[in-house]
Amino acid sequence: MIAAVLIPFATAVLVGLGVLWPGGAPPHERTGVGFDRQTEQATVTKVVRVDCKSVNASGTPPTGDTSTAEGSSAQQQATGDCKKATIRVDTGQDKGRTFTEIVQPDQSRQLSQDQKVVVAYEPSAPEDLQYSVADVNRKFPLILLAGIFAVAVVVVGRMRGVMALIALAVSFLVLTFFILPAILQGSNPLLVAVVGSSAIMLIALYTCHGLSARTSVAVLGTLISLLLIGILGSLFIGWAELTGNTDDNTGLIHGLYPSIDMSGLLLAGVIIGSLGVLDDVTVTQTSAVWELHQANPSTGWRGLYRAGIRIGRDHIASVVNTLVLAYAGAALPLLLLFSIAQSSVGTVANSELIAEEIVRTLVGSIGLVASVPVTTALAALVVSADRPGAQVAADAVPARGGRGRRRKR
């Protein structure tokens, strides 16, 4: 039964990948806004203190950091100690070129000598304004943290940990080379997300847990839950009239590629974001039912389902809370802004920014809740369909009795 469903499903995923596979992201002219800027690596070679008043009077431009607090007064900027930083470009056609920037004392990002930074390059600007500091270079701490994560996974998970890392790498490859370019080329975001998520699910689960009936049940439970999330997400995103165009980044995407369906992109994000947690729930429930069957092979599917669903209720209570807190943590600065504005709960919830997160959280949580009884029922049916352990247990009773009678004689 499982194979009759999964084989056509896997075939459909392969066909979908072949039909929707993009030739790469379509080119466009750089806008010079946000992430759509040409950047180079650079190093701060010298930092000296200067008087802000003399700097402002000379008209020297400040640093490219735009995070200056709006509430700071002009008097503070005029009388404080500013920093004049000399930056050397380390990559690109202007490698070795230096330029200077002024850092105001109230800016959140300060520059220091020998600091690695990322600079933005604008060729159409005047020569002395072509380069500006865009951000700090964080590659080394991020790579180090990723290395620690990989070592921890391998040390604890051993071979399973290695396979999990391989599955994670494949997931990023599918996301980078299929999902994102296909959406940019104008393919339906929902269709791309469904095909891409299904491919990630099949590769990740079978890579980490092997080709077995247990894994196939988890795959089928995940698939049913993803379909439910897609239906509910499509219904409520349309009903709530969520456009998906709520910040500078989505606005830039819509400006560069007007053909992209932004509400469909929002739904695609809901599906992809729910996939990881769904995998956890379905695999755990399937494993729980299999272990319950091994502990008592004579238990029928109803008994396995009742025992498994009790485990699932505890799992759901923690997973749903985790999902809600994860979204709340990501949107914490935005929630603080609403709190500062002293807006009512109804006003905050009605804003599109928050409404998107509410729909995303609730739709994903409904899919998680539904995955527990669905996966548990499937696992109980499959594992109890053929129960050789029960016959072995029945045959073992007279054998033990026979041995006892022989000893008595």
Same domain flag for 195 and 260: yes
d(CA 305, CA 376) in angstroms, rounded, equals: 6
Range of the domain at 271: 160-388
Query: Does 367 reside within a domain?
Result: yes
Same domain flag for 311 and 250: yes
pLDDT on residue 341: 66
Q: Between 391 and 127, where is the model more confident?
A: 127
pLDDT on residue 300: 84
Q: Between 29 and 212, where is the model more confident?
A: 212
**Is the pTM value of this prediction over 0.85?**
no
pLDDT on residue 151: 95
Least confident of 76-80, 83-87, 313-317: 76-80
Cβ atoms of 159 and 150 within 8 Å: the answer is no
Query: Does 28 reside within a domain?
Result: no
3-state secondary structure of 265: helix
Query: Does 154 reside within a domain?
Result: no
Same domain flag for 170 and 134: no
3-state secondary structure of 269: helix
Same domain flag for 220 and 339: yes
Same domain flag for 223 and 358: yes
Mean pLDDT of 326-335: 72
Same domain flag for 89 and 176: no
Query: Does 393 reside within a domain?
Result: no
Which residues make Cβ contacts (< 8 Å) with residue 92, sequence separation at least 6?
40, 121
Same domain flag for 124 and 164: no
Query: Does 33 reside within a domain?
Result: no
**Residue of 275, 159, 163 whose CA lies nearest to 222:** 275
Checking if the pLDDT of 261 tops 90, the result is no
Same domain flag for 335 and 300: yes
pLDDT tens digit sequence for 30-80: 655 656 678 888 888 888 888 777 665 554 555 554 444 333 444 444 456
pLDDT on residue 268: 86
Checking if the pLDDT of 242 tops 80, the result is yes
Q: Between 26 and 47, where is the model more confident?
A: 47
Same domain flag for 337 and 306: yes
Same domain flag for 129 and 166: no
3-state secondary structure of 61: coil
In the chain, the percentage of residues whose pLDDT exceeds 70 is 80
Query: Does 274 reside within a domain?
Result: yes
pLDDT on residue 22: 82
Same domain flag for 213 and 321: yes
Same domain flag for 189 and 275: yes
Expressed in angstroms, the distance from the first to the final Cα of the chain is: 51
b/e code 176-208 from CB counts within 10 Å (16+ = b): eebbebbbbbebebbbbbbbbbbbbbbbbbbbb
Which residues make Cβ contacts (< 8 Å) with residue 40, sequence separation at least 6?
89, 90, 91, 92, 94, 118, 119, 121, 131
**Which whole-number Å values give the CA distances from 38 to 32, 90, 121, 177, in the listed order?**
7, 14, 5, 21
Q: Mean pLDDT score of the chain, rounded to an integer? A: 78
Last residue of a domain, one of 109, 139, 169: 139
The amino acid sitting at 139 is K
pLDDT bin (cut points 50, 70, 90) of residue 27 is low
pLDDT on residue 147: 94
Q: Quote the number of domains for the chain.
A: 2
